[in-house]
Amino acid sequence: MRAAAGSRPGWRRLLPWVVTPLALVLAGWLLYRTLGRYEPAELWAAVTAVPAARLLGAAAFAATSYFCLTGFDFLATRWVGRPLPYRQVALASFTSLSLGHNIGLAALSSGAVRYRFYTRWGLSAAEVAKLILFCAMTVGLGLVVLGAAALLLQPALAERVTGLARPAVLALGATCLAIPLAYLALSALARAPLRFRSWTLDMPPPRLAVAQLVIGPLNFACVAACLHQTLLAVADLPYLAVASAYVIANVAALVTHVPGGLGVIESVVQYLLPQADLIGALLVFRFVYFLAPLALGSASLVLSEILLRRRAAAFPRHAPAGKPA
């Protein structure tokens, strides 16, 4: 039986009432879990140990990273054929990813919040799923390009960080470099959707693929630069060493699905870069890149829900796609 015209299935009507409170509860719990292990004096000492210039630099790189992430969604709406104004895309992207980065299982957690935003603006569930896939591909491309740069430009440094022999480092770097090149070639040459068993994938056109290969690595380069700024407060570490350690730590966090990479990023970075006691600087990095955006994203989610309900009360019918909700 099909739902009546203009109505939604019961689970879709209930979804907003589940996703929003759950996201807010998880956000509050993650803030408590991260900060509750420290005394206020310890937290204050960790932050004040980082010079203001480094703190501002880290904040600037974090902001640039989140700006890049809004570009992921902006490109994705073009790929699915449902372009939206940048202000709407930026709201959905920042709110979903600031929560998803901390909650873990980002494709599901940030995907649920994205679904909440984009379906109210007229996208179907299939289009939102395709949008999320595009963003995930951009994340993967960003990681492999940054990894290739770290491995090939500084192989001796990569040997120390990874523990691999030089031939293995170079082979791994070449493999990482081949992936985005193959992706770009497929986007230019594939005339039909790629098929693997029951899966099909429409490759984006070359202009979008090139944009992915620019903005994806730029995002991770900015995150690594944010981490580098905080670490420079306690140790003189080269950027590529920090970038290599961050790529490895980020892959470990993605594999384990630990919320916000909590403990994973800290453990991997301290193991790979044991030159100094880095915990204070790592804590500041977590403040700047994870916890401050988490607080802002939670606030934006609450405000958007309030505005949505007010608009729904004033205009009972759904706003057309592309119009602010």
pLDDT digits (tens, 9 = 90+) for 128-176: 999 999 999 999 999 899 888 888 887 887 777 667 788 988 998 899 9
Q: With 50 as the cut, is the pLDDT of residue 6 above it? A: no
Q: With 90 as the cut, is the pLDDT of residue 37 above it? A: no
Q: Collapsing DSSP states into helix, strand and coil, what is residue 137?
A: helix
Q: Minimum mean pLDDT among 6-15, 197-206, 230-239, 274-283: which range? A: 6-15
Say what the pLDDT of residue 28 is. 59
C-alpha 93/C-alpha 72 separation (Å) is: 8
The more confidently predicted of residues 153 and 124 is 124
Give CA separation, 117 vs 92, 190, 283, in Å. 6, 32, 31
The more confidently predicted of residues 247 and 117 is 117
Q: Collapsing DSSP states into helix, strand and coil, what is residue 235?
A: coil
In the chain, what are the helix, strand and coil shares in percent, each to the nearest 5? 75, 0, 20
Residue-level length of the chain: 325
Say what the pLDDT of residue 1 is. 36
Closest CA to 259 of 33, 19, 15, 18: 33
Say what the pLDDT of residue 308 is. 72
The more confidently predicted of residues 311 and 216 is 216
C-alpha 135/C-alpha 304 separation (Å) is: 22
Give CA separation, 243 vs 110, 137, 147, in Å. 25, 20, 8
Q: With 60 as the cut, is the pLDDT of residue 257 above it? A: no
Q: Please report which confidence band the pLDDT of residue 302 belongs to, taking 50, 70 and 90 as the band edges.
A: confident
Q: Which residues pair with 200 in a beta bridge?
A: 195
Q: Minimum mean pLDDT among 92-96, 209-213, 266-270: which range? A: 266-270
C-alpha 174/C-alpha 273 separation (Å) is: 24
Q: Collapsing DSSP states into helix, strand and coil, what is residue 221?
A: helix
Closest CA to 288 of 224, 227, 221: 227
Neighbours of 100 (CB within 10 A): 24
Q: Minimum mean pLDDT among 97-106, 120-129, 186-195: which range? A: 97-106
The more confidently predicted of residues 103 and 263 is 103
- Tracing tokens 């070359």 back to the chain, one arrives at 206
Say what the pLDDT of residue 2 is. 37
C-alpha radius of gyration, the chain, whole number: 21
Decide: 242 and 228 in contact? Cβ < 8 Å: yes
Q: With 70 as the cut, is the pLDDT of residue 294 above it? A: yes
Does the reported pTM lie above 0.75?
yes
Average pLDDT along the chain: 79
Closest CA to 248 of 273, 276, 284, 216: 273
Say what the pLDDT of residue 212 is. 96
Give CA separation, 97 vs 38, 119, 169, 301, in Å. 26, 17, 32, 11
C-alpha 131/C-alpha 190 separation (Å) is: 20
Give CA separation, 162 vs 79, 165, 167, 271, in Å. 37, 9, 13, 10
The more confidently predicted of residues 33 and 126 is 126
Q: Please report which confidence band the pLDDT of residue 81 belongs to, taking 50, 70 and 90 as the band edges.
A: very high
The angle formed by the CA atoms of residues 221, 226 and 228, to the nearest 5 degrees, is 90
In sign, the C-alpha dihedral spanning 7, 11, 13, 19 is negative
